[in-house]
Structure 1
Amino acid sequence: MSIDQPLALLGGLSPSQFMQRHWHKKPLLVRQAIAGFAPPVLRTELLALAGQEGVESRLIQLQDGGGWTLRHGPFARRSLPTLQTPRWTVLVQGVDLHHEAVHALMQQFRFVPEARLDDLMISYATDGGGVGPHFDSYDVFLLQAHGRRRWRIGRQKNLRLQEDVPLRILAEFEPEEEYVLEPGDMLYLPPGWAHDGIAEGECMTYSIGFRSPERDEMARELLLRLTDEEECDLNQHPVVYRDPQQEAVTHPGAIPAGLLDFARQALQRALNQPLALERALGEYLSEPKANVWFEPGPEGQMLENLRLDKRTRMLYDDKHIFINGESYRASGRDATLMRRLADARRLSAKELARASDEALELLASWCDAGWAHSEA
């Protein structure tokens, strides 16, 4: 993808222009971002997905009295309201993990780093359906796939939420702009922009969302991975806290200053391990979601044209290749090849012919695990 070429998807802006002018800054409405868009997932298929184990789905319904209800799937079709019942919505997360055409659609948004790209959620709603006025902490592209949806958006200052509601709905929504989106239209919203989408008749919206790791959560994950970095040397005694100079105390509940220093040194030592933080971050960012699993590939398959499985997350830095939560040191020609695979998500037979025996063996193991597939 050329980042300097104007795209209809971005209203004639190039990816570079979009990132400079709109990303994290201001909304963008694009009429016919995908002209003549035909949704690859129809209602019946989406509702069937919502009934599967391992697929994250929710049912949100606005009651006649104004109250909201929230249920989590999987949903048997008979447990859902009738199509004639107004004001209900089914949200299905990660449809790109289950549908090749939806996965291909997401690839159009890879002008944003893969480490930030999260998933594609599809919402199906009957007339009047929605999830209430709310704001997200991440960027989102809202692509209208079927029917019409009216969006009201605004830079919300009052972030107080309604009480005793199972959803994060704003107590006092103050919209500034209003748009009706039809199939192929798309609305980009930066983090923090409040929005409320109401279905006008039956409608379906695709939401392309991005990962925004929360600082404390990331710190916990990285610290856990850093502690796993330490290799156990059976010939070396573990370093334990010692305090031969500790005096008798009259305040036994107080934590000794020496113990605090020991803890600080332990964390600093983990951070000082060569490339430890880089490995921990790459493994964390490439870790698939908990509900993702892979079907093992056929044993002994010949490597021809190779493509990554739609559920595989593959990243890299200057020293490593990361795939599905695992890390590998890489350099030279093999590193170039692996980076090409991470960027393009496929390798041709000609490209594979330049791989070393060790790289081919590694790629074959990924195919055996179902992380990649060989195609004629």
Structure 2
Amino acid sequence: MSKQSGFNAVALQNFDPQAFLDRVWQREALLIKDALPNFQCPIDGDELAGLACEDDVDSRIVIEKDGAWELRNGPFKEADFSTLPASKWTLLVQSVDHYLPELAELLAHFRFIPRWRTEDIMVSYACDGGNVGPHYDQYDVFLVQGSGRRRWKVGGHCSAHTPLASQAGLRLLEDFSVEQEYLLDAGDVLYVPPGVAHWGIAEGDDCITLSVGFRAPSEASLLSDYGDDIASFLDESIRYQDPKLDAKAHPAEISADVRQHVKSLILQHIDNDAHLGRWFGEMMTRVPDQENFVDDSLSLEEFLLALTDGEPLQLRLGARLAFDDDYLFADGLAFPYPQDQRDDVKALCEIECGITIDIAHRLSQDMMYALFCNGTLCFYDDTQD
């Protein structure tokens, strides 16, 4: 058995992480009552609406009327909220943990799942009866009740062949049969695995749900991305060469020998553990619109001078970190590190959200600067509070 790192997630109450992983994870839904006792939601409806008005924030509103659903996409204006009906609407905002440190701290409770699988925290605000219809997701999600109450109806497992009723850009289930039903109060958590049908309906106003989602790339995208990565390193001058040919063979036939030859050409490039490890770490920590975070405003000398002057470093909200025996993976890039810094790299990957960090100072100056230029580390800005 391998030696444990000693890192432990912040425990949920009434919950055994290993038993969950062994018996429930990616198999069936599970309600964890009072998982976060005395939970105080770190965001309210007005703050969420304010975020939904920002140009770079992904937001939407779903309205139900007489069994039909309408989808409106943001960014919104303040006046848009005054025109909403009195009930049965929901505001959803993606990646709120990238903007609100108090919300990002919630992720510490779910670190029994690999960090590199974490996607983001979506926040939904609903008034009485608000819902987004019966549906299923293709990823794991923990639905944390932040405030108010929501009744969740859970159905069976769905597949690509499950009939859908497309409504205004929403992929809703044509038929929905309830197998389990739960009423969640603040601090309750409902886990829903990929492909399981579910339907949450707010009971009363000020219903806020925090959806902790986990990324799950399709096998098709894995193969496509890895193939593109391999191809980017190959020399175009290296061309296909024939195996031993038979002059008597039919000129239009593609023989089994040729197919086997092509298969061996492909496998010799794919079967490379070092290449696979670097690519997978980069892909699973990749951040959409990464170019928005790149910071080349300081030279190395200016960066080191700022450190010397006591400027505190912090981890960018939403930064994605992972590591293996050779690399620190940060926001889609692989940074090689010497083995004597392994413990420091591991410690960096245990840091949560945007808190000011000292551990980075134990890394090499070149790595700190590279992480700064990559936008993973940044200098603390006290104007954000």
Indicate the TM-score class for this superposition, using the shorter chain for normalisation: 0.7 to 0.9
C-alpha distance in structure 2 between counterparts of 1:108 and 1:323, whole Å: 21
Contact kept? 1:226, 1:277, Cα under 8 Å? no
- The match for 1:198 is 201
1:280 is aligned to 2:285 = no
- The match for 1:325 is 332
1:308 is aligned to 2:328 = no
Of stretches 168-177 and 294-303 in structure 1, the one that deviates more from structure 2 is: 294-303
- The match for 2:105 is 104
Tell me by how many angstroms 1:209 deviates. Answer: 0.9
1:188-267 alignment, distance < 5 Å:
188-202=191-205, 203-230=207-234, 238-242=237-241, 263-267=262-266
- The match for 2:288 is 289
Tell me by how many angstroms 1:94 deviates. Answer: 0.9
Contact kept? 1:6, 1:13, Cα under 8 Å? no
1:25 is aligned to 2:27 = yes
Tell me by how many angstroms 1:122 deviates. Answer: 0.6
Tell me by how many angstroms 1:27 deviates. Answer: 2.6
- The match for 1:365 is 370
Q: In structure 1, the residue corresponding to 2:163 is in which secondary structure? A: coil
- The match for 1:268 is 267
In structure 2, which of residues 153, 160, 163 is the aligned counterpart of residue 161 of structure 1? 163
5+ residue gaps, structure 2, are none
Contact kept? 2:136, 2:158, Cα under 8 Å? no
- Which structure would you say has the larger RCO, counting Cα contacts within 8 Å and 6 or more residues apart? 2
Tell me by how many angstroms 1:175 deviates. Answer: 0.7
In structure 2, which of residues 185, 189, 205 is the aligned counterpart of residue 186 of structure 1? 189
- The match for 1:75 is 76
1:33-182 alignment, distance < 5 Å:
33-64=35-66, 66-80=67-81, 82=83, 84-156=85-157, 160-165=162-167, 166-182=169-185
Q: In structure 1, the residue corresponding to 2:35 is in which secondary structure? A: coil
- The match for 2:341 is 334
Matched positions, count: 363
**Aligned pair in 2 of structure 1 residues 138, 131: CA closer, same or farther (>3 Å)?**
same
Tell me by how many angstroms 1:370 deviates. Answer: 3.0
5+ residue gaps, structure 1, are none
**Aligned pair in 2 of structure 1 residues 367, 3: CA closer, same or farther (>3 Å)?**
closer
C-alpha distance in structure 2 between counterparts of 1:5 and 1:55, whole Å: 29
Tell me by how many angstroms 1:192 deviates. Answer: 2.5
C-alpha distance in structure 2 between counterparts of 1:91 and 1:292, whole Å: 25
**Aligned pair in 2 of structure 1 residues 248, 47: CA closer, same or farther (>3 Å)?**
farther
Tell me by how many angstroms 1:318 deviates. Answer: 1.8
Contact kept? 1:138, 1:210, Cα under 8 Å? yes
Tell me by how many angstroms 1:154 deviates. Answer: 2.5
**Aligned pair in 2 of structure 1 residues 251, 209: CA closer, same or farther (>3 Å)?**
same
Contact kept? 1:56, 1:93, Cα under 8 Å? yes
Contact kept? 2:9, 2:108, Cα under 8 Å? no
C-alpha distance in structure 2 between counterparts of 1:94 and 1:47, whole Å: 14
C-alpha distance in structure 2 between counterparts of 1:168 and 1:58, whole Å: 14
Q: TM (normalized to structure 2)?
A: 0.82
C-alpha distance in structure 2 between counterparts of 1:263 and 1:195, whole Å: 45
Deviations 1:282-324 (A, max 9, x none): 1111111237732637642207664321122111112222111
Deviations 1:236-268 (A, max 9, x none): x8222356979799987x778787566544432
C-alpha distance in structure 1 between counterparts of 2:291 and 2:82, whole Å: 28
C-alpha distance in structure 2 between counterparts of 1:250 and 1:269, whole Å: 29
Contact kept? 1:283, 1:323, Cα under 8 Å? yes
Q: In structure 1, the residue corresponding to 2:371 is in which secondary structure? A: helix
RMSD: 3.2
C-alpha distance in structure 2 between counterparts of 1:311 and 1:365, whole Å: 18
